[in-house]
């Protein structure tokens, strides 16, 4: 089964949120008219790709994620993504081509901590080039790679981009920690 470009874009927008979201918020983020977004969300719900989570809120389903090509993650993979020492696959932050920073990430937890301290120019540089998406895909986190691709299309930059990227990576770490069987402590 295929989706129209609009339905696909809305399904990807639902993926970006790790919690139930109001269609009005999706509409604003996408710059699309609310009635159209609502109609497509209802269609996605009938197809089993989205579901109402609570009154007025919707969330992507496992079937929706599967349609987007996102595989389920095993306990071992979740642990590796979170705390594994991926030295040969470390993410190296740069300010620009030929301007490396002495900042590296070896897994998603170190990525989150480094993202907080790296210069905004570096975040913008890597997002525009698709480096974050490529690294997430390379270490085996297809879901985070897809979310980053959707985030890139929102054309955010600076602190707004960093904050949104932090939100999706922290939420992903929480989800992976649950899969890995770790105790999740949120602040």
Write out the chain's pLDDT in tens, 187 residues: 689 999 999 999 999 987 899 999 999 988 999 999 999 999 999 999 999 998 999 999 999 999 999 999 999 999 999 988 877 899 999 999 999 999 999 999 999 999 999 999 999 999 999 999 999 999 999 999 999 999 999 888 999 999 999 999 999 999 999 999 987 655 5
- The residue whose two tokens read 């054309």 is 155
pLDDT at residue number 170: 94
| Domain termination residue (choose one: 13, 39, 67) | 67
- The first and second tokens of residue 18, run together, are 């790790």
Are residue 141 and residue 116 in the same domain, yes or no? Answer: yes
With CA atoms as reference, report the closest residue to 78 among 163, 11, 144.
Answer: 144
Q: How far, rounded to the nearest angstrom, does the alpha carbon of residue 132 sit from its chain's CA centroid?
A: 10
Structural domains of the chain, count? 2
User: Could you tell me if residue 157 is inside a domain?
Assistant: yes
pLDDT at residue number 18: 77
Give start and end residues of each alpha helix (H) in the chain. 5-16, 23-30, 34-47, 62-67, 75-83, 108-117, 120-129, 131-138, 142-153, 158-180
CATH of the domain at 28: 1.10.10.10
User: Could you tell me if residue 32 is inside a domain?
Assistant: yes
Domain that holds residue 13: 5-67
Are residue 53 and residue 113 in the same domain, yes or no? Answer: no
Are residue 44 and residue 133 in the same domain, yes or no? Answer: no
Terminal CA-CA length for the chain:
41
Separation between Cα atoms, residue 124 and residue 161, nearest integer Å: 8
User: Could you tell me if residue 124 is inside a domain?
Assistant: yes
Are residue 49 and residue 97 in the same domain, yes or no? Answer: no
Backbone φ/ψ region at 144: left (φ over 0), alpha (ψ -120 to 50), beta: alpha
Q: At what angle do helices 142-153 and 5-16 cross, to 10 degrees?
A: 110
Cβ contacts of 155 within 8 Å, gap of 6 or more: none
User: Could you tell me if residue 187 is inside a domain?
Assistant: no
């Amino acid at each position: 089964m295929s989706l129209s470009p609009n339905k696909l874009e809305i399904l990807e927008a639902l993926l970006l949120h790790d919690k139930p979201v109001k269609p009005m918020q999706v509409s604003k983020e996408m710059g699309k008219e609310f009635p159209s977004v609502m109609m497509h969300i209802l269609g996605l719900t009938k197809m089993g790709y989205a579901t109402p989570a609570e009154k007025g809120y919707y969330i992507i389903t496992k079937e929706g994620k599967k349609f987007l090509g996102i595989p389920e993650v095993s306990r071992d993979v979740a642990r590796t993504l979170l705390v594994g020492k991926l030295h040969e696959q470390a993410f190296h932050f740069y300010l620009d081509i030929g301007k490396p920073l002495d900042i590296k990430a070896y897994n998603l937890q170190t990525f989150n901590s480094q993202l907080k301290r790296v210069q905004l120019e570096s975040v913008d540089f890597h997002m525009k080039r698709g480096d974050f998406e490529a690294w997430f895909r390379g270490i085996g986190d297809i879901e985070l790679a897809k979310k980053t691709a959707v985030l890139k299309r929102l054309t955010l930059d600076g602190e707004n981009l960093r904050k949104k990227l932090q939100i999706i990576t922290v939420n992903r770490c929480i989800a992976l920690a649950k899969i890995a069987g770790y105790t999740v402590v949120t602040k």
